[in-house]
Amino acid sequence: MIRFSLILSLLVSLVPTVGFSQIVSGPMLGIIELRDAKIWVELSPSISKAAISINKKGETSSRTISYKGELGNDFNPITFTVGGLEPNTTYEYVILANDKPTKASGVFTTKKLWQWREPVPDFSFLTGSCSYFNETAYDRPGVPHGKDPSIFEPMAKEKAAFMVWLGDAWYTREVDYYSEWGLWYRASRDRSTPFLQPFLKSMTHVGIWDDHDFGPNNSGAAYHLKEVSRKVFTSYFPNASAGENGQGIYTKLTWADADFFMLDDRWWRSADDALDSVQGKPNPEKTMIGRQQLQWLKGALLLSNATFKIVTVGSQVLNPISPFDRWGRFPAEYQEFLQFLAANPINGVIFLTGDRHHSEIIKVERPGLYPLYDITVSPLTSGTHSFGKEEKNNPNRIVGVDQKQNYGRISISGPRGHRKLTADFVGINGENIASWSVMETDLKISGK
């Protein structure tokens, strides 16, 4: 009864003044920069006009920006980009539907212009993967795969700068991934989950995909609806960019002294069961991120001056024992990238991954170089499991969390030259499960 009342209250909180069904989900904060901001919302098909009204907090004068795109479709996720803002300033906004204000409103604060003026700021962000929301009519029979969605309540209360979704933000089912309408439906339906709504507007959200929010399980380049899937994903995650030349969804985010290289592990992905090697050599045709994206990643890392260079991937990168999705199952591409890291003086590289339905930190030593770490955070609301078989006593695991829903809180703090990255794994009630930290000096090539 308590849970029902909570869900009902959340639903009521979303009811706009122009009617119960005008707002399907949101608002959600997208990228907030120094002088502009993205604000996302999904509107009902009945809405023919939309706008956003915005003002500095505490001031009565406001400006209104009309949405100039198409409306009236079965699914109407839209993004407002508001420019002409001032750094380090708090703004209030409200979404208008058919010229009337709704209860889809919120506040945000633009980034501080600290460069050349102040010490690098401390900050934290949240992260996680695998959020399954049950829909009994279309789920597999038996024990529901989706678990307690209340994990988003403590996440909404965190004083974090942003959330990085590491893939599987929604789960397509058999009724979804054979049709365009089904792909749109799943994203819309799962994004409208009541427990998500306070979290969506509490901080910036950016994301990458993995197989389940791309298409069928283990799908990749051969998925026949991948063009539609890309349109759906970019409509529900208004990242700063989405690949290049209409290909992929990879992008980059900068926050303080951290750069995030957000990779696409599905658009160019070969079948997992394709041959790893041909005539005793790694198969160059078997790829996970593809040549275009690999070249972009190399160039972007070489250009980066960030203290921490965080490479986010839906599949694990470094785990040498996992029998499931990992970059190592695409050995030619994987070895090329590791050789690139070894040959170039790039400090501060760390991997952030999802997918596995457990959380862990994998450490891989590199003789003569700093070690590489892979922080995996999963699951948010999907099923969990125990470490077992070949992974039960993984010698490369330095932190492990299994059989528990959890999210990650990653904090970067300290004076320049001595910055520290701390990863906390947090449970459904906001309790700390495990912690780990690394200093920037531990991620440096000697003499660089």
Q: From residue 208, how far is each of 203, 314, 427 by CA, in Å?
A: 17, 7, 22
The pLDDT, as a whole number, for residue 132 is 98
The pLDDT, as a whole number, for residue 446 is 80
Q: How far apart are CA 193 and CA 79, in angstroms?
A: 19
Domain ranges of the chain: 2-109, 123-443
The pLDDT, as a whole number, for residue 21 is 73
The pLDDT, as a whole number, for residue 120 is 98
The pLDDT, as a whole number, for residue 263 is 98
- 356's tokens: 């596995």
Q: How far apart are CA 354 and CA 230, in angstroms?
A: 19
Domain 2-109 has CATH 3.30.700.30: no
Mark the ranges of the chain whose per-residue pLDDT is less than 50.
1-20
In this prediction the pTM is 0.94
The pLDDT, as a whole number, for residue 114 is 98
Task: Give 261's strand partners.
Answer: 252, 311
Q: How far apart are CA 170 and CA 360, in angstroms?
A: 22
The pLDDT, as a whole number, for residue 246 is 97
Q: From residue 290, how far is each of 239, 248, 250 by CA, in Å?
A: 21, 10, 11
* Tens digits of residue pLDDT in 198-242: 999 999 999 999 999 999 999 999 999 999 999 999 999 999 999
Q: How far apart are CA 404 and CA 161, in angstroms?
A: 25
* Tens digits of residue pLDDT in 301-318: 999 999 999 999 999 999
The pLDDT, as a whole number, for residue 19 is 40
Domains 2-109 and 123-443 share a fold: no
Q: Which CATH class is domain 123-443?
A: alpha beta
The pLDDT, as a whole number, for residue 324 is 86
The pLDDT, as a whole number, for residue 13 is 40
